[in-house]
Amino acid sequence: MRKNDEEAVTPQPTVVLRGVQVFQGWLDRADQLAMLAQIRDVVQVAPLVQPVTPSGRKMSVQMTSAGKLGWITDRGGYRYETTHPNGTTWPEIPSTVRAVWDAVSGSSRGPDSCLINLYREAAKMGLHQDRNEADFSYPVVSISLGDDGLFRIGNMTRGGTTEKIWLKSGDVVVMGGDARLIFHGIDKTRLGSSTLLSGGGRLNLTMRVVT
């Protein structure tokens, strides 16, 4: 990880698209493996589930969370809850994940939630906004692990032109300021582009301040 030392300045993104900051290669292989081990510990306590939307449509990703609150979707709607659907309290956000927030978010307040999405095979995520949080002045920080994901960035409202970029294992994305509520999604993953995850696939870890 690109850690701040005594002479370090505020880290600068390698790519900026529509205000969305991309820190390419932020985590090296050793950091990714250490983070993955901690995510496995989270999943042991709060297993991945196959969520459904309020309309009953099954999502293609598998999902769990860490932190004080976890984001869930079911027939009851999109919302944050203090417990996993099985009733278990969410595990703490792993230290390796929290360290990324501290380094790139620019916020003195820590995240309440880390959403963990697993993309296997043809899994994808349609264009959406992150807007279930109380205060949009805090950024959204996400980490990519595993196979490359084609990240699409839209606008502040639905429709219009979009841009896209392949996110690789170890890349970090920050959506803050004017880009906090921008529409975004994952079109597809590039299967076999990484050997990090056993059996392949892509993990996306998304941290947010909720309350």
Q: Of 3.40.1710.10, 3.30.450.90, 2.60.120.590, 3.90.1300.10, which CATH number belongs to 15-208?
A: 2.60.120.590
For residue range 113-132, list pLDDT tens digits in order.
Answer: 999 999 999 999 999 999 99
Which residue is listed with tokens 């009733």? 87
Residue 10 binned pLDDT confidence (cut-offs 50, 70, 90): confident
Note the pTM of the prediction, 2 decimals.
Answer: 0.94
Q: What span, in angstroms and rounded, lies between the C-alpha atoms of 39 and 21?
A: 24
For residue range 116-172, list pLDDT tens digits in order.
Answer: 999 999 999 999 999 999 999 999 999 999 999 999 999 999 999 999 999 999 999
Give the gyration radius of the chain's Cα atoms: 16
Q: What span, in angstroms and rounded, lies between the C-alpha atoms of 49 and 32?
A: 23
Annotated domain spans of the chain = 15-208
Query: Which residues does residue 112 pair with via DSSP β-bridges, in sequence order?
Result: none
Q: For residues 26 and 1, is the Cβ–Cβ distance under 8 A? A: yes
**What is the average per-residue pLDDT within 71-89?**
95
